[in-house]
Structure 1
């Protein structure tokens, strides 16, 4: 007698990510109570299981849901607000003044929902955020039905959200207490950057992280100016300062890591920290190009992030994955650097490992949650296909995403010649959000 299950997804190709460099043909994923309970040839799945629902995707490839390891989701409302500027003028003259005037609970809820919709359309099932009003972000994440790690921002200088480091910590931890019933949402402490926190503030962050068992998510070694300033003010590079303050640990996600010496890499590796590589943002702000191949050779775990839409202009992890692979080859002068299978791992299992979620997501394995993304492979621009893994990284784009599941629940679907449909988001709501905040932000820039 066939065993009952909730869902079977039948696909032409399946890329589990773990084990690496494997492509399975004519396979099915069997899902029960949100988790993968079997992975087997489709012919056998039909013999052994009776699903409540069956999804047949004869011309598609199934991959783990993509994980955006570094973003500021609510800043999607600032997409294109101040382009073609270096990081500090961009922040100081445009972004921070706009945030001071407009950022609120409503702004963050609306901006995060818009970001969630964009990420789902690009096959992203989980993101690692860093922004103000995390309780508002959680509301949007809950509506979208996505998985997220929400960073509780900490800085020394006042904003419309908090007045000092202790206030940021108090506000963030109170928000965390409010969403503990959401199994899709976790939290980390998010000290903004070495140049926005004092030693004492970093020490407080480390104390709370250790007491509460939380990870730390921060910007680190993003620009050469950051390093020069650290040498002038602290007599050491930011990485060494973070070591001395106890920030480096297996729970650390360091965003960017563009300007890295071998000593920096060795320090980060010795303390078990992880990197969120953001190639498009680094290029757009002229921050530099990360030595990804060298960092991988040093044994560092590297995931991929988009950064916020204000400094990237899109939350497209498929495009980011392709750029990361291509840029690594150019920087290293080595066409074998970051091959396709490695780039996909960076956008999935590596990112899950950095978040401490690799026992739950990041690969298609029995026992893990069914966070899955299907991409069409039958469109003209995808033909012919000699290597499925290569196609996923170098050919397919977010326009090819057809289905996205989180814990076995279908959260986004796009059929050919149709608009994309979300489980819990209406396109009209997104358009109204965009129009409302566009008018306010546009007026303030004039």
Structure 2
């Protein structure tokens, strides 16, 4: 049995069943075989055979959960800056569309290691579809390309496992190609691959809802059948952009009438809503994933998260594409979410530091159905945590420690990231032996794609 005893910690546990952040001024926790087995206040008990990690008054808090991510985009940052969603997709995905399975492995590995370096230990990740991106015109896909080999998706999944990141893998149905049973057969192949991997890392599989993008009248019915047949959750990019808003809103009825609404249904972004849509989603027990940094970068708008929370919806926070948040920084994401909501409503109490912290940890885990394993520091859960030092560099007095953790700390204070009690990143660098090769490979891959297909805007 491998054991770790973390001592002299400012613990932020974010426990389930309460809005209290679970702050302990001086505490400790013990890890055995990757699981938290004890948590305490005050002086730590004798270490026995455990390795001791004395954090000397640093914060120890849950690893962040990104409930909406596209890790394959990690090598495409800084593109499409003059564009909203569809134009940005043309710029970024127009280049990636020429990637092979091996190419996409390296960009995904780079993204997964980057998440760990920034304190994100669990991600809901959308694998890039087998049908390459084509421009959207008036909210519709006008051209459908040929399917790429299944290896294109499987290599993305392997990359996350090789990085040591916990993930729920979201699988595009690529419903523009073939009949419904063809679509479901392709899905089955990828789900089976996810389920061969270490379940401590591969926390589950999911459907990438695509009714917003799909031209099929039966798209929602196919997604519901996929959820039922394979026991999957579904996250749909929905009501995201300001383009074709009426068309997007009209498509909500497709999900409602197909019976998709329920605890297994998640709406990503969910910005261009109406009170009636929010009410229907809340009443059905469905949830949403909030990407404030991405929504701001792409000028998509501000989701009415206070109304969704007030209605009882489960909400998590995601970092979205690294190509549209540009830095995988959950502190930036939390603070931007607070700022956008407060600027929108004029009411500070509409979004507090404690709220965004919960949304980016336990809230995300609850949304994804994995809160029994990750999202908080509680006995019996996996020991995924960050060590954040408020005096290096010094942020001054901790007037309200949890609020200071959210508002005043950040990547400069993040010293270590642990997954299952195992060190995965330290002082801004991953410890994975593949890290150096991933840095070289993404430059090689993107350089070759740009040379062969043109430098994107």
* TM-score in terms of structure 1 length: 0.90
- Number of aligned residue pairs: 425
- Alignment partner of 1:87 is 2:85: yes
Structure-1 residue corresponding to 2:311: 298
Q: 1:254 to 1:401 in 2, by over 3 A?
A: same
Q: Unaligned 5+ residue runs, structure 1?
A: 231-235
- Alignment partner of 1:118 is 2:114: yes
Q: 2:185 aligns with which of 155, 159, 170?
A: 170
- Alignment partner of 1:349 is 2:352: no
* Cα distance in 2 for residues equivalent to 1:226 and 1:405: 43
Moved more, 132-141 or 303-312: 132-141
- Cα deviation per residue 1:68-108 (whole Å; 9 max; x = unaligned)? 111111011221232220112232x4344323322x31122
* Cα distance in 1 for residues equivalent to 2:260 and 2:328: 28
Shift of 1:168: 5.1
What SS class does the counterpart of residue 58 from structure 1 fall into? coil
Q: 2:64 aligns with which of 63, 66, 76?
A: 66
Shift of 1:166: 5.4
What SS class does the counterpart of residue 39 from structure 2 fall into? strand
The 5 Å alignment of 1:8-407 reads 8-18=5-15, 19=18, 20-43=20-43, 45-47=44-46, 49-91=47-89, 93-102=90-99, 104-132=100-128, 133-157=152-176, 167=182, 169-180=184-195, 181-183=197-199, 184-185=201-202, 186-230=204-248, 237-407=250-420
Structure with the higher helix share, 1 or 2 = 1
Moved more, 20-29 or 213-222: 20-29
What SS class does the counterpart of residue 438 from structure 1 fall into? helix
* Cα distance in 2 for residues equivalent to 1:51 and 1:247: 51
What SS class does the counterpart of residue 350 from structure 1 fall into? helix
Q: 1:204 to 1:157 in 2, by over 3 A?
A: closer
- Alignment partner of 1:420 is 2:435: no
Shift of 1:111: 1.1
* 1:77/1:437 contact within 8 Å kept: no
Shift of 1:399: 2.5
Q: 1:134 to 1:271 in 2, by over 3 A?
A: farther
Q: CA RMSD in A?
A: 2.0
Shift of 1:129: 0.8
* TM-score in terms of structure 2 length: 0.88
Q: 2:442 aligns with which of 417, 434, 444?
A: 434
* Cα distance in 2 for residues equivalent to 1:342 and 1:426: 36
Q: 1:377 to 1:255 in 2, by over 3 A?
A: same
Q: Unaligned 5+ residue runs, structure 2?
A: 129-151
- Cα deviation per residue 1:36-90 (whole Å; 9 max; x = unaligned)? 11101252x324x524211110131011110011111101122123222011223
Q: 1:263 to 1:196 in 2, by over 3 A?
A: same
* Cα distance in 2 for residues equivalent to 1:404 and 1:389: 18
* 1:153/1:169 contact within 8 Å kept: no
What SS class does the counterpart of residue 175 from structure 1 fall into? helix
* Cα distance in 2 for residues equivalent to 1:389 and 1:172: 42
Shift of 1:176: 2.3
* Cα distance in 2 for residues equivalent to 1:395 and 1:169: 47
- Cα deviation per residue 1:135-185 (whole Å; 9 max; x = unaligned)? 212211221111000101123346xxxx77655543343122123231111
* Cα distance in 1 for residues equivalent to 2:400 and 2:116: 25
* Cα distance in 1 for residues equivalent to 2:82 and 2:338: 24
Shift of 1:197: 4.8
Shift of 1:426: 3.9
Q: 1:147 to 1:427 in 2, by over 3 A?
A: closer
Shift of 1:400: 1.8
